[in-house]
Amino acid sequence: MLNLTTENSENNQADEFEIAVPSPPELMKRRAKSHLGFILGGSVVLFALIVAIFAPLLAPFDPYDQDLTRRLVQPIWHPTGTWKHPFGTDALGRDYLSRIMFGSQVSLMIGFFAAIISAVVGSTIGMMGGYFGGRTDNFIMYLINVKLALPGLLVALSLVSVFGGSIVALIIILSFLFWDRYAVVTRSITQQIRVNDYITAAQALGASRTRIILGEVLPNVMNQIIVIASLEMAVAIIIEAALSFLGLGIQPPTPSWGLLVSEGRSFMFFKPYLIVLPGVAIFFLVISINMMGDGIRDITAPEGRN
Amino acid sequence: MSQEIVLEVKDLSVDINVPAGTLHAVSNLSLHVKKGETLCIVGESGCGKSIASLAIMNLLPRRASLTAKTLALEGRDLLSLSEAEFSNLRGDRIGMIFQDPMTSLNPVFRIGNQLEEVYMEHGKGNRKEARERAEYLLEKVGIVAPKERLSQYPHQLSGGLRQRMMIAMTLMCDPALIIADEPTTALDVTMQAQTLNLLRSLQKEFNTGLILITHDLGVVARMADRVMVMYAGYAVEIGTAVEVFDNPNHPYTRGLIDCIPVPGRRKPGSKLGSIRGIVPALVGDIKGCTFRNRCDFSITQCADEIVALKELGKGRAFRCILTPEERKTTLQNPGITQ
Amino acid sequence: MNQLNSQSNNGNIPALECRNVSQTFMIKSGIFAEKQPLKAVEGVNLSVNRGEVIAIVGESGCGKTTLAKMLLGLLPPTTGEILLDGIPINSVSILDIARKVQPVFQDPYSSLNPRKTIKSIISLPLKVHNIGTEIEQKNRVEEYMRLVGLPNRLIHSYPNQLSGGQRQRVAIARALIMEPKIIVCDEPTSALDVSVQAHILNLLQDLRKKLNLTYAFISHDLAVVEHLADWVAVMYLGRLIEFGKATDVFRDPKHPYTQALLESVLTPDASLGLPEITLGRGLPNPLSPPSGCYFHPRCPKSSTECSEKSPLLKKEKNYSIECHLYN
C-alpha cells in the first residue's frame, strides 16, 4: 500500500513521511524467524544446554556409580537391551546415558568459557589496536604474528601435559589458543569504524577512550564477535574431545565425550555403541553450533543504508 | 542542429521486487533525444532518474523488470536485442559517464590500454588506429602531453583529469548517445564548470545526443537544451530549460527552484523556500498524484486518479490536475479543496 | 588579525579566535622515503563574535577540515593559538572545550551510530558529562528533539529508520544539547537533497537566532555560504587568502581565486551559459607547494613576482588579503 497520508500535524515541522523501515532489533527478529539453519542449530544447542544444566535431575543414574554385575549391558535397540539402561552400560557397569548427559556439561562448559574468555581478551586487544593505531597497533600486530607462528596444537599438548587436565586448565589453555582470531577481525573492523563521524562526534564530546571503545565501537563489532565465538566454541569442543581421547585432557572418571570414546576404544568391534554414541553427540553438537553461528552472521548482517 | 532523433522511449516502466512488495521505480516515462541535443533529467534522490538511465542501457539489477512500448536507438528496436547484442551496443553506440571516475576506471591497467580496449573490442580497428584515436581524443579533452598520460595509471591522475579521461573513453567509438549520471558531483566547484564546458563543446562537435542526469539545478540551467523534472518515478514537467526555469508549471518544479539559495538574489539571513514532507515510498499500488501530500495546492481530486501528462505543444508538458492559473485561485479560495 | 573585528566591536572578546594557527603533518610517501612535512593549515588568523557565522570555503584539500578538527580541540595546533571566549584552547580540558564547541558533520549516515537508538545518541553528551538523572536526560532529549523539529515518537527509533534530513536533525540536537556557544558545521547539507537542504539551512538560521549561536560553517557551496554567512574566509592550500565581511567579499571579491570560485557557482539561470574558468589543472601537490604565492600556477593574473615571493598579508579593518595585486 502506498502510504500517502501525512502524520498528525502536531509534529509536522519535520520533514515527516512514514516509510516503514524496521529497526535493527526488529529486523534481526524477523530474519531469525525465517532462518532454518539458525532455528535447527539453535534448538539442538538449547537442548544440549538444558540437558547439561539439569543433568543431575534428568540423568537416571549417578554417572560414577559402578556396578560390575551389569557390565556392558547392550542399548535398547539391541535385542537384549532394557529400558533400565537405554544406552546400555560401559565396561565398569556405569549407565551410559547418564555419562553422556554429564559429558555434555564438560563439553559445553569448556566450549563456552574458552570462547568467552578468548573473546574478551582477543576483542579488547583487537579493538585497542584498531582504535589507537600507531605504536599500540604495531605491538598488537607483533603479538598476533607471534601467536600465528606458534603451532597451536603442539603448544596446547605440551601445556596440558605440564599443567594437567583439569577443566579450568583446559579452558585457559584453549582461550590462549583462540584469542588471535578475535583480535584480527575486531582490529580490522575497528579500523573501518574509527573513521566514522560518530566516533569523531564522541571524541568532540570529550568522551573517554574506554567509553568510545565500549559504547560506540563494541556494539558495531559485537555481531562478528558472537559469530567467531560460536565457531571457536565448536572448535574448543572438538579439541577437548581430542585431548581427552589422547588421555591428556579430562581425567577419568569424569565423563567427557572424548574420554568416553577413548574408553570404548578397546570394545570397538563388539560393542560399537560405546564409541558411536559419544561420537554422534559430539558431531551433532558441533554441527549445530556451527549452523547457529552461520545463522547469527546472516541475522546480524548490517542493514545497509536503506 | 540536426533534428534526427537518436533515442526514443515511450511508456517505460521499471518495477523492482523488494521484500515489502513491488517498487514502482519508473512509471510511464516517455522521452526522446535528438542529435546534438542535451536532455537533462533532474530530480531528488529516489525519483527514478538513475534507474531510468540504467533501463535504457539494459543494466538494471536482476530483480527489476522493464516494460516499454518503444525503446529505440537510432531507429533500432532495443527491446528485441539479446544480451550479447546489447553489450556490443554499450560503449559503441551508447556511452556512459558515471559520478565517480575512480570506480569506472580499472586501477590495474594503464589509461591507454583501457581506451584502446574499448575501440578494439567493438571492432573499430587495430591497436595502432586505437592509439591514434586515443591520442586525438585526449588532445580534444584538453590534456597536454597525451602520450605520457596514456601510459599512466588512473591513481596518478587528479579527479578532474580522470573525468576527462572518462569523457575521452566514452567518445572512442563515436557514440550516438552519451548518458552522464551526475558527472561532476564528485568534483570541486572550479573543476565542475570546466568539465561541463568540455562535455558540452565535444557533444556539439561530435553531434552526439546527451542525457545528463543530475540533482543540481544550477548544472541543469546552464547545460540543458531541454529539461525533464522527475518526481517519484514520474516525469512531472518537460520543456526547454528557459521555459521550465522561468515559468515552471508544476508545483514541485516551483518548489525545487525556491529551495536553492542564489547568490545576489536574496538578502542573507532570509528564509529559503522549502517543500514539506519527503518522497513517498513507491511500494504497492500508486493511486493519484504522488506529490499531493507535499503540495500546497492539492485538492481532493488529486487522490483519485493518476494525473495524465498535459501537453502544451512544442514539447512542453506537465503533470498536474490544475493549471498554474487554477492553482492561484485554489490558494485564494481554500473552499475549493472541499 | 585579532584586532580586525574583535576589538573594533566595542572591545568584545570574540567567541572564537585563531591566532597564527598552523598544522603540520609528517607524511611518509614511501617505504624508504624520509618523512616530509605536509602543511595542512598555515598561519591562519581569524576571529568571530558571538552570534555570527563565519564560513570557511575552499576546494577539497585546502585544509578546512583540518582547521575544523583543531577548532573542536581534537587536534592541537602545531603552532599558534585558538581562543574560545578569550581562553586558549590548550589550557582547558577536552571536556571544557566540548561544552563550548560542538560539531555537525557532512554525512548524516556516518555521523550516527547505527546500533544505537535516537535517544541514546542525543543523550550521549549528557552521559559523558554526567548531567542529570535518567529522567532529566530523557526530558532534555525530548525538549531538544522538539527544538530541531523531530517528532517525539522517533525517540526509540534507530538511524536506519530515519530520512537523511531527520538524521541531520538528530546530529544537530546532539550538538546542541550541551548548550554550546559555537557549532562547527562541516558541510552540513552537501549530502542532502536540495529540498531537504533548504529545511536544514532554515533550521540552522532559526536556531542561531533563538540560541545566539556562533557557527563556523565549512562549505564548498558558495551559494549556501552567501545565504548564511556574516564572514567569509577563503582558504587555498592551507593558507587563508582572503577574509572579510560576506557582503563585501561577495559583492567585490579581490583575490583572483575568490573571483574564480564565485564565477564557478552555477546559479539556476537558464539564460546564462557555462562560465569560462581558466584555473587550469587541480590543486598542486601539497607536499611540494609552488614557490612564491601558492596560487600562482593557476592564477590568470600571475606575474614573475608571484612565482618568486610569497605575498604579504594585507590587513585592514574587517578585511585581509594575501595577494601581490593588492600589496
How far is Cα C322 from Cα C304, in angstroms, rounded to an integer?
16
Q: Is the Cβ of A6 closer than 8 Å to some Cβ of chain C?
A: no
Contact A197 C160 (CB under 8 A): no
Shortest alpha-carbon distance between residue C81 and chain B (Å): 30
Q: Is the Cβ of A26 closer than 8 Å to some Cβ of chain C?
A: no
How far is Cα B235 from Cα B231, in angstroms, rounded to an integer?
6
Residue A164 has pLDDT above 80, yes or no: no
Please write the tens of the pLDDT for every residue from A229-268.
998 999 999 988 888 888 888 888 888 888 888 888 888 8
B177 with B161, same domain?
A: no
Please write the tens of the pLDDT for every residue from C238-279.
889 999 998 889 888 989 889 888 888 888 887 777 777 767
pLDDT attached to residue C10? 47
Chains touching chain A, criterion 3+ CB pairs below 8 Å: B, C
pLDDT attached to residue A188? 94
Number of domains in chain C: 1
List the single residue in A10, A198, A211 with the smallest CB-CB distance to C128. Answer: A211
Phi, psi of C79, rounded to the nearest 5 degrees: -135, 165
B177 with B164, same domain?
A: no
Under the banding of pLDDT at 50, 70 and 90, the label for residue A10 is very low
Nearest residue on chain A to C102, alpha-carbon basis: A204
Q: Is the Cβ of A197 closer than 8 Å to some Cβ of chain C?
A: yes
Three cell numbers, residue B84? 550479447
CATH number at C247 reads 3.40.50.300
Average pLDDT over residues C154-159: 89
Three cell numbers, residue A225? 564477535
**Mean pLDDT of all residues belonging to chain B:** 84
Contact B255 C60 (CB under 8 A): no
Nearest residue on chain B to A6, alpha-carbon basis: B293
pLDDT attached to residue A15? 35
B318 with B183, same domain?
A: yes
B28 with B83, same domain?
A: yes
B138 with B189, same domain?
A: no
Asked whether residue B98 is assigned to any structural domain, the reply reads: no
| Chain center to CA of A113 | 8
B211 with B246, same domain?
A: yes
Chains touching chain B, criterion 3+ CB pairs below 8 Å: A, C
B137 with B236, same domain?
A: no
Asked whether residue C2 is assigned to any structural domain, the reply reads: no
Domain that holds residue B155: 104-170
- Identify each DSSP E strand in B59-105 by its residue range: 64-67, 70-73, 76-77, 94-97
pLDDT attached to residue C34? 77
Shortest alpha-carbon distance between residue B281 and chain A (Å): 6
Three cell numbers, residue B337? 479543496
Judged by CB atoms within 8 Å, which residues 200-239 of A form the interface with C?
A: 200-208, 211, 215-216, 219-220, 222
C contacts of A207 (beta carbons < 8 Å): 124, 128
Asked whether residue B271 is assigned to any structural domain, the reply reads: yes
Please give the DSSP secondary-structure letter assigned to residue A267.
G
B239 with B316, same domain?
A: yes
Shortest alpha-carbon distance between residue A49 and chain C (Å): 29
The domain spans of chain A are: 37-299
Average pLDDT over residues C170-186: 93
Contact A24 C169 (CB under 8 A): no
B61 with B158, same domain?
A: no
Angle at A85 between CA A81 and CA A88, to 5 degrees: 65
- Three-state DSSP string of chain C: CCCCCCCCCCCCCCCEEEEEEEEEEEEECCCCCCEEEEEEEEEEEEEECCCCEEEEECCCCCCHHHHHHHHCCCCCCCEEEEEECCEEHHHCCHHHHHHHEEEECCCCCCCCCCCCCHHHHHHHHHHHCCCCCHHHHHHHHHHHHHHCCCCHHHHHCCHHHCCHHHHHHHHHHHHHCCCCCEEEEECCCCCCCHHHHHHHHHHHHHHHHHHCCEEEEEECCHHHHHHHCCEEEEEECCEEEEEEEHHHHHHCCCCHHHHHHHHHCCCCCCCCCCCCCCCCCCCCCCCCCCCCCCCHHHCCCCCHHHHHCCCCEEEECCEEEECHHHC
Residue C306 has pLDDT above 90, yes or no: no
Asked whether residue B99 is assigned to any structural domain, the reply reads: no
List Cβ neighbours of C271 (8 Å cut-off, separation of 6 or more). Answer: B242, B246
Asked whether residue B164 is assigned to any structural domain, the reply reads: yes
B189 with B84, same domain?
A: yes
Cis peptide before A219 (omega within 30 of 0): no
DSSP bridge pairs for B318: B237, B310
Residue B280 has pLDDT above 50, yes or no: yes
Contact B280 A3 (CB under 8 A): yes
**Mean pLDDT of all residues belonging to chain A:** 85
Under the banding of pLDDT at 50, 70 and 90, the label for residue B332 is low
Choose the mutation target among A189, A197, A211 for the interface with C, i.e. most C CBs under 10 Å.
A197
Chains touching chain C, criterion 3+ CB pairs below 8 Å: A, B
Average pLDDT over residues B278-294: 77
pLDDT attached to residue C216? 93
pLDDT attached to residue B239? 92
Number of domains in chain B: 2
How far is Cα A30 from Cα C164, in angstroms, rounded to an integer?
25
Under the banding of pLDDT at 50, 70 and 90, the label for residue A13 is very low
B contacts of C276 (beta carbons < 8 Å): 197
Please write the tens of the pLDDT for every residue from B37-94.
999 999 888 788 888 988 888 888 888 888 889 888 888 888 888 888 888 888 888 9
Residue C1 has pLDDT above 70, yes or no: no
Q: Is the Cβ of A30 closer than 8 Å to some Cβ of chain B?
A: no
Asked whether residue C1 is assigned to any structural domain, the reply reads: no
Residue B264 has pLDDT above 80, yes or no: no
Distance in Å from the first CA to the final CA of chain A: 19
List the single residue in C165, C198, C274 with the smallest CB-CB distance to B278. Answer: C165
pLDDT attached to residue C9? 46
Shortest alpha-carbon distance between residue B119 and chain A (Å): 37
Q: How many CB pairs under 8 A join B and C?
A: 141
Residue A130 has pLDDT above 90, yes or no: yes
Q: Is the Cβ of A20 closer than 8 Å to some Cβ of chain B?
A: yes
Asked whether residue C11 is assigned to any structural domain, the reply reads: no
CA separation, residue C128 to residues A208, C116, C122 (Å): 8, 15, 11
Three cell numbers, residue C232? 567569509
Residue C107 has pLDDT above 80, yes or no: yes
- Identify each DSSP E strand in B142-195 by its residue range: 177-181
Under the banding of pLDDT at 50, 70 and 90, the label for residue C234 is very high
**CATH no. for A37-299:** 1.10.3720.10
Q: Is the Cβ of A18 closer than 8 Å to some Cβ of chain C?
A: no
Residue B331 has pLDDT above 70, yes or no: no
Choose the mutation target among B39, B141, B164, B194 for the interface with C, i.e. most C CBs under 10 Å.
B194
Nearest residue on chain B to A16, alpha-carbon basis: B277
B contacts of A6 (beta carbons < 8 Å): 277, 293
Percent of chain C with pLDDT over 70: 94
How far is Cα A77 from Cα C197, in angstroms, rounded to an integer?
74
Residue A179 has pLDDT above 60, yes or no: yes
Please write the tens of the pLDDT for every residue from B146-190.
888 888 888 888 778 888 888 888 888 889 999 999 888 878 888
Q: Is the Cβ of A11 closer than 8 Å to some Cβ of chain B?
A: no
Choose the mutation target among B24, B271, B282, B283 for the interface with A, i.e. most A CBs under 10 Å.
B283
Under the banding of pLDDT at 50, 70 and 90, the label for residue B265 is low
DSSP bridge pairs for C232: C55, C244
Contact C282 B189 (CB under 8 A): no
| Chain center to CA of A120 | 13
Domain that holds residue C311: 16-267+274-326
Asked whether residue C222 is assigned to any structural domain, the reply reads: yes
Asked whether residue C292 is assigned to any structural domain, the reply reads: yes
B43 with B86, same domain?
A: yes
Asked whether residue C10 is assigned to any structural domain, the reply reads: no
CA separation, residue A300 to residues A112, A225, C301 (Å): 20, 11, 59
- Write the burial class of residue A243 (CB in 10 Å: 0-12 exposed, 13-18 middle, 19+ buried): buried
